Amino acid sequence: MLKIKKVFLVAVSLILMAALVSGCVGKEEKKADTAASQEQHQMQGMNASDIVGMMNLNPDMMIEAMSSPDASQSMTKIMSSEKMMPVMMDMMHNSDMQKNMVKIMSDQKTREAMVKIMSDPAMMQPMMEIMADPQMKDTFMAMMKDPKLMPMAKEAMSIK
């Protein structure tokens, strides 16, 4: 049971990061001192279809963004925001977004960055809320049946 819960948590985190990082990538030109607060503000102003659209156009953006050392701190701030919760829920129901997860998770740096972000204590509450949503459970169960995604999720969980 605990193993299933861990895999489920990894699946949740993968989609959240894919959606949010892809939405933030275009904003990297901004100065470092305003990065996290401006990203959070701009992400809240976007709707799910905008972010999903960017993600589906170029999943490679996610991989590049995740290798940035500042990415995990900014991502944690954005993802732990209560205002982002409904946006993230909408994005996770998008089938194209789910398909892109396989490509994103095949990159080692992306998996390591995901584990770092998800181990942040600030992420605990948002993750619990998402996992409690009955629609999300069905979405993740379907995704975890993907033969390409399952081994990658297991590997991501084993990274220290």
pLDDT at 128: 72
Instruction: Write out the two tokens for 1.
Output: 């049971």
- Is 60 exceeded by the pLDDT of residue 89? yes
- Is 70 exceeded by the pLDDT of residue 109? yes
Instruction: With cut-offs at 50, 70 and 90, classify the pLDDT of residue 133.
Output: confident
- Rounded to 5 degrees, what angle do the CA atoms 144, 88, 5 make? 35
Give mean pLDDT, residues 131-142. 70
Instruction: Write out the two tokens for 117.
Output: 């972000």
Q: What count of Cα atoms within 13 Å lies in the side-chain half-sphere of residue 32?
A: 5
- pLDDT tens readout for residues 11-69: 666 666 655 555 544 444 444 445 555 554 455 555 556 656 666 666 666 666 666 66
Length of the chain: 160
Domain boundaries, the chain: 37-158
- Is 70 exceeded by the pLDDT of residue 121? yes
